Amino acid sequence: MIHVSHLTKRYAGRTAVDSISFDVGRGEIVGFLGPNGAGKSTTLRILTCFLSATEGSATVAGHDIFKESIQVRRKVGYMPENVPLYTDMRVNEYLRFRAQIKGLGWRESRRAVDEAMDICALTEVSKKLIGTLSKGYRQRVGLADALVNKPDLLILDEPTNGLDPNQIRQVRELIRQLGERHTILISTHILHEVEMTCGRVIIIDRGRIRASDTPQNLVRRLRSAGTVNLEVQADPDLVVAEVAKLPGVVSAKHTDTRQEWASIEIRTETNLDVREELFDLIVKKGWPLRELSRHQASLEDAFVDITHQTANEDSPS
Amino acid sequence: MRSFFILFRKELRSFFLSPLAFVLMALFVFLNGWLFSSLVQAMRAAVSSRSLIYNLFDSGWFWMGYFILFPLITMRLFAEEKKLGTLEGLLTAPVRTAEVVLAKYFATVVLYAVLLLPIFGFFALFQKVTGTGAAFHSGAFWGSALALLLIGLFNIAIGVFASAVTSNQLIAAMITFVGVMLHYFLGFLHQFLTTPGSMWTSTLTYFSSIEHMHAFADGLIDTRPIVYYLSLAALLLALTHHVLEYRKWRA
């Protein structure tokens, strides 16, 4: 559905997107993840033919984005960041206009608008001026606009930006439903969203792709997948020394020195649970125990880890 | 072509659904109505060798109100879309940039024509009420209408261009106003700079809107101003198209 190869966008003295390549297959829901200013929006704007790339090439739905821009735009439903809308139009009027400039006929567009408003739960506000709607409704108007002509591909730039938790949940649910019929590329910096909805994640930072995998694999690959926290009442140095002897333990560190209790952070080999062995050790030594927990890594850890790593690599030291 | 009409309709709609068109129309009718009636009184008091139409369009009062029109009707066209960000949605839809530019341009031309209509209504009404055929002849009527249309086509193109170069409506309005006034005053330059009859005089006269108006209001249709205004308008619209496309490549 999308094929990007060595796409580069340079602004004066700054490379926003640096030779990125990736593919998105038909029917996939792909999350485009990165910190603010990583080049997500720029990439999406290039794919939707709003900007041109400095170098590289890309095809969307089989059409070259530079040479066949009109065909590409016909197949893509795009929701720009912050959802710009004509505030002086009514919801149905606006969607009707959008459906028509996307090539739907007069009668066709009426049906398509009704359907899109139904999917996005907009029917009750269809006669309201867009300017009077709340942020959540506007977001849904933008979404309805993106899918009104049933495009093959939906490109959504931060679709849940600025919504409250309930609305985020609604939009996320909507996206998941849409994923049954469309290929979707979502950009976001909200990790939870990606974990819940996307089959694959592309992490981009400083204009480069740092990782591209399923959320589960990303988490599994992570160092912190094998972290155990331990809090006992004993001499910290002794505990560290004893724990380090256990098989599978990579390192043990005394973290919080202010407390009377020794709190130890233990790194193990990936995907190895050493809690049983630890428990045996504690019982044998007779240390009073307050905490023994294995840190369950989330995508957030993966994200922080990956983007943090690159930040260290890139900064001159 | 289909997209053009959809966009054209949308632009017209947003003109006539907002109070702007009606406020302008009311002000313009009031201003010109006042001018018209005082002109009729003046012509009754003193004999004039010129027609009523010629005298109205020769008056500085008319042009003053007229030039304020252009910044007001063109400033929001692209500047507002840029500020709101809706330009992104518009240009990522399957429409050509040229269609967007032309739709906005011609919708504004229609608004302009509607705003000027009352003036010609005054003349028609005057003739009907007084029954005097002597006030003007039909050549003056249609000639001056054509001249105003041509000058308008050019000035609206200035406004469209100015609106495309900035996202600030006030700046767009100022650029338009200055552009429109500069061109108008260019036509008066020869009175100050050159001796009558020199080559400069005839060259500068060629740019002079007021001279074009004089000729057309006498019922003389000159093809040179027609070509002049249409080609300038086309040039400005082409530049507007390039300004909008430039966003893609700017570094």
Q: Which residues of B touch A88 (CB under 8 A)?
A: 14, 17-18
Residue B82's closest CA among B154, B169, B8?
A: B169
Phi, psi of A265, deg, nearest 5: -105, 125
* Residue B6 touches chain A, beta carbons under 8 Å: yes
Q: Which residues of B touch A84 (CB under 8 A)?
A: 84-89
**Residue with the larger pLDDT of the pair A294 and A126:** A126
Residue A10 lies in a domain: yes
CB contact under 8 A, B248 and A50: yes
**A156 and A229 co-located in one domain:** no
Q: What is the pLDDT of residue B179?
A: 94
- Is residue A144 within 8 Å of A156, Cβ to Cβ? no
Q: Give the domain ranges of chain B.
A: 2-249
Confidence band, pLDDT 50/70/90 cuts, at residue B135: low
For the cut 50, the answer to whether the pLDDT of residue A316 exceeds it is no
Work out the average pLDDT over A12-27: 88
pLDDT tens profile A273-315: 778 888 888 888 888 888 888 776 667 777 777 777 665 655 4
**A291 and A153 co-located in one domain:** no
For testing the chain B interface, which of A48, A100, A101 should be mutated: the one with the most B CBs within 10 Å? A101
Residue B96: closest C-alpha in chain A: A70
**A192 and A227 co-located in one domain:** no
**A179 and A90 co-located in one domain:** yes
Domain count along chain A:
2
**A204 and A229 co-located in one domain:** no
For the cut 50, the answer to whether the pLDDT of residue B134 exceeds it is yes
**A111 and A42 co-located in one domain:** yes
For the cut 50, the answer to whether the pLDDT of residue B88 exceeds it is yes
Confidence band, pLDDT 50/70/90 cuts, at residue A317: very low
Residue A9: closest C-alpha in chain B: B251
For testing the chain A interface, which of B99, B167, B248 should be mutated: the one with the most A CBs within 10 Å? B248
For the cut 90, the answer to whether the pLDDT of residue B10 exceeds it is yes
Q: What is the pLDDT of residue A309?
A: 65
CB contact under 8 A, B251 and A11: yes
A204, A220, A236: which is the final residue of a domain? A220
Q: What is the pLDDT of residue B189?
A: 80
Using CB atoms, pick whichever of B7, B87, B94 lies closest to residue A74. Answer: B94
Work out the average pLDDT over A4-10: 91
A220, A252, A278: which is the final residue of a domain? A220
pLDDT tens profile B166-223: 999 999 999 999 999 999 988 888 777 767 777 777 788 888 888 888 888 888 888 9
Confidence band, pLDDT 50/70/90 cuts, at residue A59: very high
Structural domain containing residue A38: 2-220
What proportion of chain A, given as a percentage, has pLDDT over 70? Answer: 94
Q: What is the pLDDT of residue A96?
A: 94
Question: Rounded mean pLDDT of chain A?
Answer: 85
Restricting to B residues 66-85, those with a Cβ less than 8 Å away from any Cβ of A are: 84-85
Q: What is the pLDDT of residue B113?
A: 94
Q: What is the Cα gyration radius of chain B?
A: 20
**A106 and A239 co-located in one domain:** no
Residue A121 lies in a domain: yes
CB contact under 8 A, A52 and B10: no
pLDDT tens profile B179-193: 999 999 888 887 777
**A112 and A180 co-located in one domain:** yes
CB contact under 8 A, A145 and B92: no
Using CB atoms, pick whichever of B7, B14, B88 lies closest to residue A80. Answer: B88
Q: What is the pLDDT of residue A142?
A: 93
H-type alpha helices, A124-190? 135-147, 165-178
**A214 and A237 co-located in one domain:** no
pLDDT tens profile A127-183: 999 999 988 889 889 999 999 988 999 999 988 887 888 888 888 888 888 888 889
* Residue B19 touches chain A, beta carbons under 8 Å: no
- Per-residue HEC secondary structure of chain B comes to CHHHHHHHHHHHHHHHCCHHHHHHHHHHHHHHHHHHHHHHHHHHHCCCCCCHHHHHHHCHHHHHHHHHHHHHHHCHHHHHHHHHCHHHHHHCCCCCHHHHHHHHHHHHHHHHHHHHHHHHHHHHHHHHHHCCCCCCCHHHHHHHHHHHHHHHHHHHHHHHHHHHHCCCHHHHHHHHHHHHHHHHHHCCHHHHHCCCCCHHHHHHHHCCHHHHHHHHHCCCCCHHHHHHHHHHHHHHHHHHHHHHHHHHHCC
**A25 and A44 co-located in one domain:** yes
Confidence band, pLDDT 50/70/90 cuts, at residue A14: confident
**A212 and A78 co-located in one domain:** yes
Give the number of other CB atoms < 10 A from CB of residue A258: 6
Q: How far is A71 from chain B (nearest CA, A)?
A: 7
Say what the ipTM of the complex is. Answer: 0.87
Residue A289 lies in a domain: yes
Q: Provide, for chain A, the percentages of residues in helix, strand and coil under a 3-state DSSP scheme, each rounded to the nearest 5.
A: 40, 30, 30
Q: How far is B82 from chain A (nearest CA, A)?
A: 10
**A10 and A108 co-located in one domain:** yes
Say which range, A8-12, A86-90, A311-315, B203-207, has the weakest mean pLDDT.
A311-315
Q: Which residues of A touch B17 (CB under 8 A)?
A: 88
Work out the average pLDDT over A230-235: 85
Q: How far is A82 from chain B (nearest CA, A)?
A: 9
Predicted structure pTM score: 0.85
Q: Which residues of B touch A54 (CB under 8 A)?
A: 251
